[in-house]
Amino acid sequence: MHFFLMMAWIGLGSCVLTWALRRYALSRSLMDIPNARSSHSVPTPRGGGVAIVLSYLAAIVVLSYLGDVWLDVGIALFGAGLAIAVLGFLDDHGHIAARWRLLGHFAAAFWVLFWLDGMPPLVLFGVPVELGWLGYLFGALYLVWLLNLYNFMDGIDGIASVEAICVCAGGVLLVASSWVGDGTALLLPLALGAAVAGFLIWNFPPAKIFMGDAGSGFLGIMLGALSLQAASVNPQWFWSWLILLGVFIVDATFTLGRRLLRGDKVYEAHRSHAYQYASRRYGRHLPVTLAVLLINILWLLPWAFAVGFGWLDGVLGLIISYLPLVVLAIVYRAGELEKTS
């Protein structure tokens, strides 16, 4: 029962911190001003994701101190999360060259992999494959891509928060409904979901404060690290987490692929993701954010369970679950140049 009380305190702490950060941002005029690349039209305070960071890092310390989660996992998440949050915070309040940001991203990724003993085995069509040292390269690329795609996908009210809560809830349900009694795989995503829920109260459409790079990058690498930790308990769960992250992975990857093929400067800001086109088509952010919620619950979660419990091969489950998302990306013109009139 004390775990549920702790999660309530994490959510409440995040909510109060977000309120305080919003007051601070308003008093110092730290506003996100709409421009041609924006998906919003009203100046809005930014930097609220720091509340998620502080709440979750505090939760990691407490859970590690109490012995409720493995210390090495706590060190992996705390170190990488703090580094990425500080890097994002500095970039939010100034500018850090892309090459230095990328260097910091890879350093944080290798930190995670060092403390988690590299990538867990991948199960390919029922055959466990030990990646060895190659796993460090694959794992680093995976974590850095998740980190950056979360930045890319945090472009309309509530979408990044809803995605994180859905993914964490799916991960928690997988553990809770299995016979695996791993407190780390259960409590760490539960705590992250609670921290994001407290922030979402202020970020739900129409948002009263934005997350900022400090929060979105932090969520990206935390979700990636949690997926690797879950896979160390049950290798099938890696595929389950990839399925749960499907909305963001498909939209961001499809968009990036199209822009690369066209020769665009991929590090420049744009608004050509499918979710951004959808929000402009419907004139509001709320329908798109709610659609992401429904896709996660009604489509991706059942496939994640089917794979997680071994009823379906992971690769096959990933393909089946992603196919409609690819269709949606095409329908909503992900990666296309925006028409100007």
Contact 209, 15 (CB under 8 A): no
DSSP track, 211-243: -HHHHHHHHHHHHHHHHHHHHHH-THHHHHHHH
Q: Which long-range contacts (CB under 8 A, 24 or more apart) does 312-320 make?
A: 313/125, 313/126, 314/123, 314/124, 314/236, 314/238, 314/239, 314/240, 315/124, 315/125, 315/239, 317/239, 317/243, 318/239, 318/242, 318/243
> Can you tell me the distance from the alpha carbon of 28 to that of 265, in angstroms, rounded to the nearest whole number?
33
Collapsed DSSP state (helix, strand, coil) of residue 248 = helix
Contact 33, 42 (CB under 8 A): no
Q: What is the DSSP letter of 339?
A: P
Range of the domain at 24: 2-331
Residue 337 counted as domain residue: no
Residue 270 counted as domain residue: yes
DSSP track, 87-155: HHHHHHTS---HHHHHHHHHHHHHHHHHHTTSPPPEEETTEEE--TTHHHHHHHHHHHHHHHHHHHH--
Let me know how long the chain is: 341
Q: What is the pLDDT along the chain (341 residues), one digit of tens a residue?
A: 477 888 999 999 999 999 999 999 999 887 877 765 666 667 889 899 999 999 999 999 999 999 999 999 999 999 999 999 999 988 877 778 888 999 999 999 999 999 999 999 998 888 888 888 899 999 999 999 999 999 999 999 999 999 999 999 999 999 999 877 778 999 999 999 999 999 999 999 999 999 999 999 999 999 999 999 999 999 999 999 999 999 999 999 999 999 999 888 777 778 899 999 999 999 999 999 999 999 999 999 999 999 999 999 999 999 999 999 999 999 999 999 877 54
Collapsed DSSP state (helix, strand, coil) of residue 44 = strand
pLDDT at residue 116 in the model: 96
> Can you tell me the distance from the alpha carbon of 111 to that of 289, in angstroms, rounded to the nearest whole number?
33
Other beta carbons less than 10 A from residue 29's beta carbon: 9
Residue 41 counted as domain residue: yes
> Can you tell me the distance from the alpha carbon of 97 to that of 296, in angstroms, rounded to the nearest whole number?
35
Residue 269 counted as domain residue: yes
Residue 340 counted as domain residue: no
Helix 71-92 to helix 183-203 angle, to the nearest 10 degrees?
20
Residue with tokens 């659609």: 291
Other beta carbons less than 10 A from residue 83's beta carbon: 18
Residue 266 counted as domain residue: yes
Contact 154, 160 (CB under 8 A): yes
Residue 341 counted as domain residue: no
> Can you tell me the distance from the alpha carbon of 222 to that of 17, in angstroms, rounded to the nearest whole number?
20
151 belongs to an annotated ligand binding site: yes
Residue 193 counted as domain residue: yes
Q: What is the DSSP letter of 299?
A: I
Domains of the chain: total: 1
213 belongs to an annotated ligand binding site: yes
